[in-house]
Amino acid sequence: MLHISAVLHLEKIGLSALGGAGDRLGRRMQYLSYELLFAPRPYIHSKEVVLVYMDDDSHEHLNQPHDKAWDRSLHARLLERLKEENARAAVFDVVFDAPGDPAKDARLARALKEFGKATLAADLVRVDTREESSEIGTLARKIIPPADMFLESAAGVGTAEMTASQDLFVRQHFAGSPDDVIPSLTWAAAETLGAEITKTNHAGLKFKTRWVNYYGPPGHLPHVSFWRAISTNVPAGYFRDKVVFVGAKIVTHYSGERKDEYRSPFSLWIESIETQSQYMPGVEIQATVLLNLLRGDWITRVPFLLDLWLVLIAGLVFGVGLAKLRPIMAAIVALASMIVITLLAYYFFVVDRVWFSWFIIAGIQIPAATGWSILFNSINIYVQKKLMQQSLGMYVSPSRVNQILKRPDILKPGAEKQELSILFSDIANFTSMSEGMDSDQLATLMNNYFETTVGHCIDPAHGTVVKFIGDGIFAIWNAPMPQADHQELACRGALLLRDSSSKFNSGKALEGLEIRTRIGLHCGVANVGNFGSSRRVDYTAFGENINLASRMEGLNKYLGTDILITGEVESGVKNKFVTRFCGQFNLKGFEKAVAVHELLGTPEQAEASRPWREAYAGALKHYHQQNLDEAERGFRCVIELHPKDGPASFFLKHIKEVREHPAEEEWTGVVELKEK
C-alpha cells in the first residue's frame, strides 16, 4: 500500500522520472480530495457582489462585435450608474490596453476617476525570448497594463491571470511572485476595498497558497446581463453597496479560440442552474476569489509533510490490518473506515475549511487494501485447503477428503465420544525378518508395504489411518465423518489388507519375500479428536475399546489366524461375511470375557470352508460343555479337513494343559490368556 501513496506524491517531492502521465494521475487523485467535498456542502449565498456579464444577449442588444473591443462609452455608462447608486467597488476583468475612439476613451477615463473605486485588469503573457535558429532563451512573463489614461484614473490594477491546470480547473488563488510588478486582480481589488488580509506587513502572507472556496455551481453568484445593467431593466438601487465584476460570458465563439471559462468542483456532476453548462466564466471565479479574501474563508490544505504521513500511515495500517481479517470482516471494517474518514474530511472541510488527501485513503488505499485482503486470504485459504487436503490424504481416502473439508471444526482441539470400528494390524515375525536387512532395504520394504495396504486396502474401504505404529497400522471408521455401515467397511478393509499384503512389491533385493499381516477388529465407543500440545496436535482415538482392538490383533499370534473380530463387530455384519466363532477369551487387562470370531471371507466363499467350520463349531461346543475327549476328537477332525487350522491346533494344546493342570474354579469354557 505504501507505494501507492508515494506515487501520488511524486510531483510534490520532485521525482518526475515516472513521466507526466503518472504525475497527472497522482495530482488528480489528490485534487479529488478537495473537489468532492463541495457537492454535499450546502451552497453559500452572497449579497456582496454582482456579476455584469458581457454575454451574447448584450452583444446582440448593444450591437457589439465579437471580434473587436467594445464601445468604451458603454463601460462609462455602467460606471456612471454605479456611482449614482453608490456601489461599493467595480472590478473590470477586461483589459483596456489599446487606445480607441478618443472621445469615448476620455469619457471612460473620466467615469473611472469620478467613481474612484474601480480596479482594472492587466494582461500577463509569455514571450519567447529565443532567437531564430537558436535554442538559447526562455519564455519570459510580460505585463500588458491598461492604457495610461485609464491607469491614472483607476483605483488599482492587477493581472487577470488565473492558475488553471491542464484539466481547466482553477483550484488556487493566483498570488503571483515577489518579482511581479503588479499584484493579481483580486488582490488589487481587495486592497482597494481595505480587506484585512491586505493590511499586514508580512510579505509572505500575500503569496501564501490559498485554495478557492467555491460557494456554488456556475451561475450561483448574483448576475445580470450588461445590456440590462445599463438600462431600466434592472431596478434602481440594484448595485447599492455591491462589488460589481464586469467580464465576458460568451457561448458563441470563434473556432479555435478558447472561451474564458473553466471547470469547477461542481462540474463533476452538477450542471449550471441557468446555462446548463459545466463551465464557470472566469469573471465568476475572480469574484469568488475576491469574496474569499474579503471574508477570509478560503480553503487551506494541511501541510504537505503531515498530509504525506497521513497517507503513508493509513496505507500501512490498512494494508497490513485488513490482510489479517477474513474477507467479510475486512469488507465491513473497510466500509466503516471509508465512511468515518469521509465524514471526518467533510467535518474539517466545512468547519475549519481544511482539506487533506482523504480520497487517496478512503477511495484508493482502503479499496486496494480490501482487494489485497481478499486476494491474500483467498490465496491463504486455498493454500490451507491444499495443505489440509494433503494432510487428510495421509489419513483417509481421496474420496473422503472433500467430505471432511466441509467440516472446518475437524482441526479444532478437543475430542468427542463416538462409536468406532477399530483396526489394528501387525506383520507376523517382523522382528526376525528385519534383522538381516540394511536400512535402505527396510525403508523400501515398509514404504512399499504401507503404500499397498493404505492405498489399495484401507482407502478403498473409506477408513481413516490414525497412525503407523512401527510395522503396524491403526485405523478407524465412523470418524471423522459418520458412516452408517462402518462395521461392514472395516471388515472389507481387513479382508483387502489380508489378501493384498502378501502381493506388494517388496523390491528386487527382497524379491520372493512373503509377508503375512495379522489384523484385529473391534467396535465400541472411544474418545476421538485432536489431542496434543499447544504446538502439535494429532488426530487420534483413546479408550478401552482401542486397547481391546489391539489385543484382538495380538490374539492372532496364539490362534494362528489372520483376522480376528469381536462379537460386537460380528453382530453388525452377520450374514454379510463368512465368520466362525473361535471361543470366549479372557484377555490381559480386561475383566470380562470377549467373544472372538475369525473373519474368513465373503459369502461366495462360504461353501469351500463349510465342512471344517461346522466341525470346529461342534468341537468347540463339546469344549464349552467340558466334554474334553469329544472336543479333542472334533478338533483333530478339523485338522484333517483343514491341516493348517490355527484355532483347532490352539485348543488341542490348551486341552492338554487343562488335563495336566485342572482349574480349581468352576468350569466356564472361557480361555484365559495371561500374555498380550
> Per-residue pLDDT tens for 355-395?
999 999 999 999 999 998 888 888 887 787 777 677 666 65
Phi and psi torsions of 312, nearest 5° = -65, -45
* Contacts of 131 by beta carbon, 8 Å cutoff, 6+ apart: 137
| pLDDT at residue 149 is higher than 70 | yes
Percent of the chain scoring above 90 in pLDDT: 58
Does the pLDDT at position 638 exceed 60?
yes
Which pLDDT does position 286 carry in this prediction?
Answer: 95
**pLDDT tens profile 519-540:** 999 999 999 988 877 666 778 8
pLDDT of residue 376: 85
Residue 397 predicted with pLDDT over 80: no
Structure-block grid coordinates of residue 635: 478338533
Identity at 641, one-letter amino acid code: L
User: CA 397 → CA 455, 456, 462, 645, distances in Å?
Assistant: 8, 10, 6, 34
Of 230, 245, 243, give the one whose Cα is nearest residue 283: 245
Give the pLDDT score at 534: 64
Check whether 134 has a pLDDT greater than 70.
no
Residue 267 has pLDDT above 80, yes or no: no
Answer yes or no: are the C-beta atoms of 126 and 140 closer than 8 Å. Answer: yes
* Listed residue (259, 375, 265) closest to 322, CA to CA: 375
Question: What's the pTM?
Answer: 0.62
Q: Does the pLDDT of residue 20 top 50, yes or no?
A: no
pLDDT at res. 167: 82
Q: Is the pLDDT of residue 645 over 50?
A: yes
**What's the mean pLDDT in 391-412?**
61
Which cell numbers in the block locate residue 22?
503518472
Per-residue pLDDT of 312-326, as tens digits, reads 999 999 989 988 888
- What digits encode the pLDDT tens for the residues 185-197? 999 999 999 999 8
- Asked if 396 contacts 489 with a C-beta cutoff of 8 angstroms, the reply is no
Q: Which CATH number fits domain 394-598: 1.10.510.10, 3.30.70.1230, 3.40.50.720, 2.60.40.10?
A: 3.30.70.1230
Amino acid at 639: I
- State residue 273's pLDDT score: 45
Looking at per-residue pLDDT, the higher value among 406 and 628 belongs to 628
**How many whole angstroms separate alpha carbon 368 and alpha carbon 353?**
28
pLDDT band with cut points at 50, 70 and 90 for residue 500: confident
Does residue 403 carry a pLDDT above 90? no
Classify the phi-psi angles of 469: left when phi > 0, otherwise alpha if psi is within -120 to 50, otherwise beta: beta
Residue 662 C-beta-side C-alpha neighbours within 13 Å? 5
State the chain's mean pLDDT as an integer: 85
Query: How many angstroms separate the CA atoms of 121 and 116, rounded?
Result: 15
pLDDT band at 232 (very low <50, low <70, confident <90, very high): confident
pLDDT tens across 95-125, in order? Answer: 998 888 999 999 999 999 999 999 999 988 7
The span from the CA of 372 to the CA of 370, in Å, is: 5
Give the start-to-end residue ranges of the domains of the chain: 1-35+302-376, 45-299, 394-598, 602-676
**What are the φ/ψ torsions at residue 502 (nearest 5 degrees)?**
-90, 0
Q: Is the pLDDT of residue 138 over 60?
A: no
What pLDDT score was predicted for residue 508? 55
Mean pLDDT across the stretch 32-42?
91
pLDDT tens digits for range 563-572 = 999 999 999 9
Range with the poorest average pLDDT among 250-259, 405-414, 588-597:
250-259
SS (H, E, C) 319-330: HHHHHHCCHHHH
Which residues neighbour 195 within 8 Å (Cβ) at sequence distance 6 or greater?
293, 294
Q: What is the pLDDT of residue 395?
A: 57
pLDDT score at 254: 41
Among 456, 672, 642, 671, which residue's Cα sits nearest to residue 561? 642
Cell of 590: 480386561
- Rounded alpha-carbon distances, angstroms, from residue 63 to 56, 58, 221, 224: 10, 8, 26, 18
pLDDT for residue 258: 46
The residue with greater pLDDT, 401 or 300, is 300
